Amino acid sequence: MSYQERYREYLDLIEPALREKFGTERGYEFDGLLDAMNYSLMAGGKRIRPVLALEFARLNGMEPEKALPVACAVEMLHTYSLIHDDLPCMDDDDLRRGKPTNHKVFGESTAVLAGDALQAEAFGTILRSGLPVEARAECAEILAGAAGVDGICGGQFMDLSAEGHALTAEELSALQGRKTGALLAAACMLGAAAAGADGKAVELAGQYGAQLGAAFQIRDDVLDVLSTESELGKPIGSDKRDGKTTFMSLYGESECTRMVERITAAACETVRDVDTDGFLTELAASLAVRRS
């Protein structure tokens, strides 16, 4: 099976599973909240994180569809983080994936609640799944680590605190390792842990994910300067507008490109012995040159 065929196979599992999460058949009376949750959850995107979860589950001997609970959970947590990142009190963005941001459509209060609910439901999806008890506990702990002080929330706080202040390369890497890298690492670890992999395999998955996240963020900084709003699907130039230190402001385009190449090569080397059909290598390579 080719890389493109496997990616499509994973999307064909992920999209229906996400779509059925918050349908009206659940009988909830809070239709406006569900609408807001679904609006962002089903807004599109590459589904990189759930794809990674399914692939690492497969590589560790699990049928990918059985890992759908953790794949959906990581995408729900990612969506919550995007809704909150876009809020006026955070990054104050009006466009996400080519569509108005959640608070622009549903109002700020509902957007906050939609993000909160998606985060809670992400953990509920894991804990209510049919995975073995030990796997559920490990996966919930992995996701909590990616969400909390050492992950998304800590990274976003560091990002907001740094506005208007110059950061060193080390400080910027620490910030982005939490804000971007932690959830990509968790996605890989979740797939391995769901499959019952040992600690060494889970750690290797996390190392690949962290490297992927580092390269992803540097590429994102490049695109924020060189891409267009229509191509990227969100406002460009926002980092400069907000006075943020980025890899582009520290190193420039040429060095950023070289950094992405080096980190991507390191990620591919990390999984060389387990990436039996090259899917993870092709995924990393495609993200290194992405335009959106």
Question: Which architecture characterizes domain 3-288 according to CATH?
Answer: Orthogonal Bundle (1.10)
- Kindly give the confidence (pLDDT) of every residue in the chain, 292 residues in length, as a single tens digit, with 9 standing for 90 and above: 899 999 999 999 999 999 999 875 555 567 799 999 999 999 989 999 999 999 999 999 999 999 999 999 999 999 999 999 999 999 889 999 889 999 999 999 999 999 999 999 999 999 999 999 999 999 999 999 999 999 999 999 999 998 888 899 999 999 999 999 999 999 999 999 999 999 999 999 999 999 999 999 999 999 988 876 666 666 666 677 777 899 999 999 999 999 999 999 999 999 999 999 999 999 999 999 998 8
Alpha helices in the chain (DSSP H): 3-19, 31-41, 48-59, 68-85, 102-106, 108-127, 133-147, 152-161, 169-176, 182-194, 199-226, 229-232, 238-241, 247-270, 279-288
Question: How many Å apart are CA 171 and CA 266, to the nearest integer?
Answer: 21
Q: What is the pLDDT of residue 244?
A: 84
Closest CA to 131 of 196, 52, 199: 196
Closest CA to 175 of 190, 161, 189: 161
Q: What's the DSSP call for residue 100?
A: E
34 in Cβ contact with 43 (< 8 Å): no
| pTM for this prediction | 0.94
